[in-house]
Structure 1
Amino acid sequence: MASIVPRPKKSGEITYQVKWRQDGSWQTENFGGEEGEAQAEQFRQLVEAHGNRWPYGWVKGHGFVEPDTHPDDVDLITYAHQYVDKITGIDERTRQDYKREIDRHFAGLLVAQADGAEERVGGLVHTPAGGGPAVPATVCNVTDDDIKGWIRAQEQGVPHPEKEGEWLRRPASPKSIANRHGLMFCVFQAAVDATKPLRGDNPCAKTKLPRQDDGIEEEMTFLEHDEYARISACLREFDPDAADLADFLVGTGLRWGEATALQARDVNLAKRTISIQRAWKRCDEAVFKLGPPKTKKGRRTLALSESQVEMLRRHMRGRQPEDFVFRGGMGKAWRHANFYNRKWKRAVDEAIKRGLTKRPRIHDLRHTQVAWLIEKNIPLPAIQARLGHESITTTVDRYGHLVRALDGEIAAAVEAAMGAPAPRALQVV
């Protein structure tokens, strides 16, 4: 329920503040002047009529303002770029990624039309409530329905107008849509929370996103032991060192950027451990630098098997402390694109010719390691620590569905508990 709180000033004037809770936080709007109390009462009733939310079209401090005539309105893409420029605590590569998402998916795809003109398709636009052609999106004119239309456009993709079966932009995965929607939400929330708010509500607040488990194909590929053995054998036929790196990835569950950043000083052969202290970070399309692991818990120590120790011992012969353990051509650290195109893809293609029915990515070796650990009943908290996940929730959400090997043990434990004889009643002597 909204309430009105009188706020006397030193001058003797009284300001009437309408106050209510929306989504767990307090919201206020002030009214002054001769009709302040009556205006506050009208606004209070409007708030309650809208389910204790800001009335549609009302902007704090301005009142009801037509979206296309708001005095401080600004183009959405411009505002989104300004928002990203102000984010703290992220590296420049992440900032560039956000801006690229804004340009590609907020603004849409720039395509040539039959008359030679160019048009953006698939981006966020505003469709007036009374009908009429869509107009460019601004911070103030976007509605809930506009966001829903933008989500549907990503789900459906943009078919090629002249080539049947081809796409200008393929349908996006539920995960990609959720990531873009999350960025869009933050941009609009910044407009709501600004010192001088541009709008009273966030049009992304109640969007129903596509379920991330509705796809026909799983995003992650898990390899059985014999399936990976086929790939490893093919890889070893033409590059044993590349096969060692792949074996190390699947045997440790390390991220690509962690394994290829491993230096000789990070390996303790006596204790049979490795220490993960750094990972490769991409600054732009072709420039990489060393930085901290992906999460705080990414700094971790992993135990090694005897065969892994022997493999590392071979690769570390003659290495200086800061030399990379795994190196490609010219003695430099491997780059993902080079390894994938020159080694991994070739080995997978050959394995498919020999009967493999899956086409895994390099990152699927990390997923495969988890599947193998779960198969051996390793607890998820231990897997979380090995993978360097910041939260157990990440581990459970991503891999919890694989924990089926424990079904027999759980059923047996329940059966034993339910079938145990009831304890005898205590007798008072």
Structure 2
Amino acid sequence: MANLVARRNRAGEVSSYQVRWREGGVRTGEQEAERFDDEDSAKVFKDAVDEAGQHWPPGWVKGKGYIDPTAADELRFRFDRWAVESVENRTASKRYKQQRIRALEMYMFPTFGNCDIRSAEHFSKATIGAWVNKMLKTKVKRGSKIKDMSPETLRGLHGLLSSVLKEAVVAEPPLRDRNPCDLTRFPSNDDWGISDDESSDDMEFMTPEEAAGLVECFPRPSDRMLVRTAYGSGLRWGEISALAARHARNPRPGEYELRVTRAWKRVPGEECTWDRRSRRRGGGRSSSRPGCGKSSSTTASPRWGRTTCSSMTAVAAGSRTRRSTTGGWRGLLRPRSGG
């Protein structure tokens, strides 16, 4: 970043302000500087140098300023500035914006940061394809291992890039004729991030018997109930940890109803807050709660998720049991007589 330095005369009074930086932001870059009589002008110029990537701002002549008054406006069409503004203006959570800007800074700005959003040469099928191939060779950390970026992750990054370029297409007046990301074709050999030395099967889901064995590992009844509820309902951790007594009721013997109306919302650097689940009046998300300490079925109503007190078993022996985050078991479990 450029530095703003107050210059003092022999009397110790501030006589001018100087903006200093290394060309290109590297240690070996040439030392550059510009002097101003007032601090406000110096701050504006410092920001312009930072936005230009530690270069002289476009259209600026040393000692004279902007020769072309419209040259400064050209910066807003540079990809890094356009992309950040695009994300900041979206109607989304603060955490969403922080994650998307971080992805831009890590994976897109090194390639497209100084490109013109309007240029068909900077953003074309060829340049997007070259960036995709570069990302496929990029190493990312997964847990304790360093692996190649998975096609699934790349699709998410490509979607973010496409959304930024799309805003240039639909701008008034349009800044581009079309979105080059629409021409991208991804490799068909998507291994979903699974390497050759790992299992190539789809995601595995615990059977009721396996869940019962896990429950027995917890000595406290409250912990066992938490495991059963998480397994039987498919609630996310932010939702299940936000449940209160008023969110559950027992209308009839052997039947329990559970309603999800809130969840914990985490914002980096801030305390956790409640995130209301309701999207309309009387809304909220329905789910289930185990009855009588056993796995249970779900029949979701618009307002409450209902569960009966009967033990469950898989439809077919050895089949996988998929759980849903919105509707419980989706009919994949049936009551087992007795118990």
CA deviation profile, 1:287-310 (whole Å, cap 9, x unmatched): 321112397798233344422599
Deviation at 1:159, TM superposition (A): 8.8
Aligned to 2:273: 289
Larger relative contact order (Cα-Cα within 8 Å, sequence gap ≥ 6): 1
TM-score (norm 2): 0.54
Unaligned runs of 5+ in 1: 1-69, 108-122, 126-134, 161-165, 311-371, 377-381, 389-394, 396-402, 406-429
Contact 1:249–1:259 at 8 Å: present in 2 too?
Answer: yes
Say if 2:260 is the partner of 1:264.
no
Aligned to 1:214: 191
Say if 2:173 is the partner of 1:196.
yes
* Pair 1:298–1:218, CA change in 2 (3 A): farther
Distance 1:257 1:293 in 2: 11
TM-score (norm 1): 0.44
* Pair 1:229–1:213, CA change in 2 (3 A): farther
Aligned to 2:284: 299
Deviation at 1:77, TM superposition (A): 1.8
Contact 1:144–1:203 at 8 Å: present in 2 too?
Answer: yes
Say if 2:77 is the partner of 1:74.
yes
Contact 1:174–1:211 at 8 Å: present in 2 too?
Answer: no
Contact 1:72–1:198 at 8 Å: present in 2 too?
Answer: no
* Pair 1:254–1:103, CA change in 2 (3 A): same
Aligned to 1:119: none
Distance 2:154 2:191 in 1: 13
Look up the equivalent residue of 2:111 and give its one-letter code: L
* Pair 1:73–1:258, CA change in 2 (3 A): closer
Between Structure 1 and Structure 2, the one with more strand by share is 2
Q: Secondary structure, in 3 states, of the residue corresponding to 1:199? A: coil
Deviation at 1:384, TM superposition (A): 7.5
Distance 2:270 2:201 in 1: 30
Deviation at 1:266, TM superposition (A): 0.6
Deviation at 1:172, TM superposition (A): 2.1
Contact 2:228–2:290 at 8 Å: present in 1 too?
Answer: no
Contact 2:135–2:149 at 8 Å: present in 1 too?
Answer: yes
Aligned to 2:49: none
Say if 2:310 is the partner of 1:386.
no
Aligned to 1:245: 226
Look up the equivalent residue of 2:97 and give its one-letter code: R
Distance 1:102 1:158 in 2: 16
2:210 to 224, 227, 231: 227
Unaligned runs of 5+ in 2: 1-72, 195-199, 296-312, 318-322, 334-339
* Pair 1:245–1:295, CA change in 2 (3 A): farther
* Pair 1:284–1:86, CA change in 2 (3 A): same
Give matches, 1:321-360, under 5 Å: none
Superposed CA RMSD: 4.0
Distance 2:238 2:247 in 1: 15
CA deviation profile, 1:233-263 (whole Å, cap 9, x unmatched): 33x15x5533432221001111111111111
Contact 1:298–1:387 at 8 Å: present in 2 too?
Answer: no
Look up the equivalent residue of 1:147 and give its one-letter code: I
